[in-house]
Amino acid sequence: MGRLKLGILISGRGSNMQALIERFADPDSPAEVATVISNRPEAAGLARAEAAGLPTTVIDHRGYADRAAFDEELDLALSSAGVELVCLAGFMRLLTPEFVEKWRDRVVNIHPSLLPAFKGLDVHNRVIASGVRITGATVHIVRPEMDAGPILVQGAVPVAQDDTEDALAARVLAVEHRIYPLAVGLIAEGRVRIVGDRVEIDGAAPVDGALLNPDAL
């Protein structure tokens, strides 16, 4: 079986894209990046992808009459590149239900919270304001609803009592860079099964211990 072909969609700097590029640069890895597509021509991640020798495409959403027309062009670009798994990496566009259904179970996303908590934008400020002690990041299978779908991998991050948005975001981002390549690798290795609204992973090791915050006992 050949390497799983990835299509990475970005809108900005592409730091999670970079984590995927680095993880799957080795020809012996189970996946390879087939194309990088941005809806913004000014996205800094395009230069990162080009520096890695990857093909890039800009599909500027502002040139399309509606979301459906944009998604049709996106679908064509992904299919033409032979993409088998679509990875959203800071892609700031809601995909139409028709696109998600056509690519059902073949689109993954990463979100900077422990879903289903704190869906949407301005996540870290809302986390701090809520008083929760633990947050994190989630890789999930995409469904038509925003930030919804079967959960693949999560990573937990303690929230400090004096946290700022920037400080918390940096710690969560470091975890994102670990769990996104892990999740995509599990899919590429054929270890992921989607059963209803849950993901089952072959050979998943049980996790021992607990993360406490504050750990003042």
By annotation, the residues acting in catalysis are 111
Q: 86: which strand partners?
A: 7, 107
Phi/psi of residue 138, nearest 5 degrees: -135, 135
C-alpha–C-alpha distance, residues 202 and 209, integer Å: 21
Structure token pair of residue 136: 């994190």
C-alpha–C-alpha distance, residues 23 and 29, integer Å: 8
C-alpha–C-alpha distance, residues 9 and 90, integer Å: 8
Residue 14, by phi and psi: left (phi above 0), alpha (psi -120 to 50) or beta? left
Q: What angle (nearest 5°) sits at the alpha carbon of residue 8, between those of residues 102 and 103? A: 10
